[in-house]
Amino acid sequence: MEGIIFALDIGTTKVCALVGEVRQGQMQIIGLGIEPARGMRKGMIVDVAEATMVIARAVEKAEHTSGYHLSRATVSMAGEHISSTNNRGAVAIRRNGTGVTPEDIERALDAAQAIPIPHNREVVHLVPRRYLLDEQQEVRNPLGMHGFRLEVEAHIVTGDSSALLNLNQAADNVGLQVEEFVLNALASGEAVLEPTEREMGVVVADIGGGTTDIALYMQGGVWHTRVIPVGGFHVTNDIAIGLRVPYEVAEEVKIKYGDCRPDQIDPSVVFTVEPFGGEKIQVGRQDLAMVIEARVEEVFHLILEEIKQSGYDGLLPAGIVLTGGGSQLRGITGVAQRVLNVPARVARPKNLVGMVDTLQSPAYATSVGLLQWAVNGHSMYRPRPRQGELGRKLGGFFRALLPG
């Protein structure tokens, strides 16, 4: 793949627009626009007009820094409306003397996608887990191989049509056509995982503001995904309620003093906050850590339940890789190791070239991963969402509203 690619990460806490230039297989980030999110809740749009204005500002910044006018984008997707399942499809291989063709693989994937889907949902990812060719099991890539019957086991991710249309509408309002929706956890996996981790068995957990998105990898591919509707916002909200302070103050306290290890904090260490009412109070850092630890433990217990439901409990030697803004809490890997009983590490995007100073943080794993997803060409087969043409005449209007 050569040329210009564009990624739009529409999250609960921020909107990040990235422009990448691909030359000779090397991607360089040449455009960047970041804005605090508005009109979002738990990864979903709840106010299209507010979300549109934020997206417009982020896109305008990315266009200005890159020097390109952007019209198509790979867009992130999250929210508890996301669900997934696995299914198999099988086809007879056409006798053409050349072995398995791309058309044969596409027919097998079409067969795997033939599952009952409610009218208000649509397939957004159809990921091959493994292929079977006649009696040969665990075929990685059957292209060109000879046989009589090709079977594929696929992981199918579906989303609520209305939620996806709202994302599409917000992008469309600023003149962007959605090239593809990509689940946050899959995008983050592109940015932070090592090939050996994917092969041995690993879970990537992107802890965002409103959700925690997980993807389980085995034998080099995706085997299970889920969106858990708990994230960094809930930690901040617990602090705000416990200390009776505004949300913004609670977020500042979390970043400055937050920790997941109350047993390692001196009980005499305190800090000062000003709650509602105006009279300053002193709060023990150990007490704060107890509040944070309780919520973080809940997140990892929910992840553990998902791992057990996938059937791979105890079969993930590479453990869990944490990313996203919520993964930056001090001591979070210790909680993960204790609850899940697996190795844990916090990861940031790797192999960055270009405008990378801001992006060298776990908070931007999804954003960078969207570009990597497009570069790596995952979409040999793309399910086609049921979405109409919404007209892009508003794109110029919304961008014209932005201050020059």
* 33-87 pLDDT tens trace: 999 999 999 889 999 999 999 999 999 999 999 999 989 999 999 999 999 999 9
Q: What's residue 150's pLDDT?
A: 95
* Average pLDDT value for residue range 297-321: 95
Helix, strand, or coil (residue 313):
coil
9 vs 58: CA distance, rounded Å: 10
Question: What's the whole-number mean pLDDT along residues 294-305?
Answer: 97
Residue 345 has pLDDT above 80, yes or no: yes
* 185 — pLDDT class (breaks 50, 70, 90): very high
List the domain boundaries for the chain: 83-161, 232-291
232-291, CATH topology level: Nucleotidyltransferase; domain 5 (3.30.420)
What is the band of 293 on the pLDDT scale with cuts at 50, 70, 90?
A: very high
Average pLDDT on 245-250 reads 94
Name the more confident of 1 and 165.
Answer: 165
Query: What are the φ and ψ backbone dihedral angles of 243, each rounded to 5 degrees?
Result: -95, -5
pLDDT for 384 equals 37
In the structure encoding, which two tokens stand for residue 387, read together?
């979405």
For residue 116, pLDDT beyond 50: yes
Kindly give the residue spans of alpha helices, DSSP state H, lying in 177-313.
184-192, 195-200, 232-243, 247-257, 285-310
What pLDDT score does 402 carry?
A: 56
pLDDT of residue 401: 54
Q: For the chain, how many residues are written? A: 404
Task: Say if residues 130 and 199 touch (Cβ distance below 8 Å).
Answer: no
Computed over every residue of the chain, the mean pLDDT equals: 90
The reply to whether 83-161 and 232-291 are identical in fold is no
Res 386: pLDDT:
34
Per the model's pLDDT, the better-predicted residue between 378 and 290 turns out to be: 290
* 34, 58 contact by CB (below 8 A): yes
* pLDDT reported for residue 1: 53
**Residue whose tokens read 């503001």:** 209
Greater model confidence, 334 or 136: 334
* pLDDT per residue as tens digits for the range 357-404: 899 999 999 999 999 999 887 643 344 333 333 333 444 545 545 544
Q: Say whether domain 83-161 belongs to CATH 3.30.1490.110.
A: yes
CA dist., res. 208 & res. 230, Å (int):
8
Non-local (6+) Cβ contacts of 398 within 8 A are 52, 53, 56, 173, 174, 175
Which of 126-135, 137-146, 358-367 holds the top average pLDDT? 358-367
**pLDDT (0 to 100) of residue 176:** 93
Whole-prediction pTM value? 0.89
